[in-house]
Structure 1
Amino acid sequence: MTDRPALTVTLDSDTFKAFYYLKEELTAFCRQEGLQATGSKAALTQRICVYLSAGKKESAKAEKRYAADIGELTAESIIEPNIVCSEKHRAFFKRELGRQFSFNVLFQNWLKENAGKTYGDALEAYRKILADKKANPTKIDKQFEYNTYIRDFFSDNQGKTLQDAIRCWNYKKALPGHHRYERTDLAALYEEVSL
């Protein structure tokens, strides 16, 4: 099994990208090197890649948004550009859709992409999003590689334990390349364990 290299300034960016590092490791490296240590795992990874390849210290730029004064919301109201999902919006959607309403990511994205349509259109879109979520399994974002791996492991290996899945995950993340489940990862379960 290949040992994963330590995350240091001597590591080249291609090698860094080939291995799996925990977000906590990325954050610690950023703090140690004076890089901005906030943001998603993907943002930290990108920041470290730039630093390892070019020595540049990039910082995340937050875009400040302001809520528009939208007045009373009705189904005929127009969705404003650069919408900020406020308590006024939440109250409208709860009134129209029920107390179980919550702003999920898909719906927030739909609102941002559909400025100029009506809130009646938004109500229909929310109902469709919920129906689609029930009909199709949720895609796990790239930054949640562990969750995706464990789900795929159990999909292919009914009867195996969580400890089996974790052992295979630990084997996989120590290898260079992608960190998606493959049936060959089961080799980790059959290796001799020396105590």
Structure 2
Amino acid sequence: MENSRNPEESRPKLDKVISLDDFEDFYWFKQELISFCAKEGLKTSGGKKELAARILHYLKTGEVLALSQEKKKPDSKFDWTKDRLFVDTIITDSYKNSANVRAFFTDYIGVHFAFNVKFMQWIKDHKGSTLAEAAEEWKRLYQISKDKDYQTEIAPQFEYNRYIRDFLADNPSLKLKDAIRFWNLKREKRGTKAYQKSDLDF
């Protein structure tokens, strides 16, 4: 069946009667998501990804997620902000990127240690691993990042940053102001917000 959605369709109003397709197909500023949540009695904290997921659930079910449904309380009582850390300390569900953890990794790895998105995601996905294993993963990621062809990964929710980077990489003769102009046109249209060569036809 042919997709009947029109990419040139004007951007709809974000309210409680918006269709799921419209909500998912168009770009929304974080402040728009926060305003919607505030108006409908939804929690307004969190990043764009969390806000969008909260709104999507509400549009699908009409339910306001209780805080307890959104965030499960950790089982572990380990305090990552002050408990002493060792190489064999197990990463628990109460893990937090704290000054205490930074000090441990700086001592273990070196002063060049810094938290980064990929490393933090690895820790989130590897509860039960040790800090020594985490340190080895950080070193592996660090070596990869030193490759001259390495490109920092930008999380999907940061659509603007990804678009600008990809636009400029594909159009080296154009300037940042050009990338921003095409992004402003793209974000008003239905569909993907990823850069495409055809965007130059806008």
Task: Give the share of equivalent positions with the same residue, in percent.
Answer: 37
Give the match for residue 3 of structure 2.
none
CA separation in 2, counterparts of 1:88 and 1:126? 17
Note if contact 1:12-1:53 (Cα within 8 Å) is conserved in structure 2: no
CA separation in 2, counterparts of 1:72 and 1:127? 22
Off by >6 Å, runs of 4+ in structure 1: none
Note if contact 2:37-2:55 (Cα within 8 Å) is conserved in structure 1: yes
Give the match for residue 62 of structure 1.
71
TM-score (norm 2): 0.79
CA separation in 2, counterparts of 1:46 and 1:110? 22
Deviates more, 1:78-87 or 1:150-159: 78-87
Structure 1's 176 and 95: CA in aligned 2 closer, same or farther, altered over 3 A?
Answer: same
Question: Which runs of no fewer than 5 residues in structure 2 stay unpaired?
Answer: 1-7
Letter in 1 for 2:143: A
- Superposition pairs of residues 25-174 of structure 1, within 5 angstroms: 25-60=32-67, 61-65=70-74, 66-68=77-79, 73-75=85-87, 77-82=88-93, 83-111=95-123, 113=126, 115-117=128-130, 119-135=131-147, 136-174=150-188
Which structure features the higher share of helix residues? 1
Shift of 1:151: 0.7
Letter in 1 for 2:9: T
How well do the aligned residues superpose, as a CA RMSD in angstroms? 2.5
Structure 1's 80 and 41: CA in aligned 2 closer, same or farther, altered over 3 A?
Answer: closer
Shift of 1:13: 1.6
- Give per-residue Cα distances to partners, 1:45-91, cap 9 Å, x unaligned: 1211222232211244334444259975454x343433444444332
- Give per-residue Cα distances to partners, 1:112-143, cap 9 Å, x unaligned: 516354x4433322211111222331221111
CA separation in 2, counterparts of 1:89 and 1:97? 12
CA separation in 2, counterparts of 1:71 and 1:37? 32
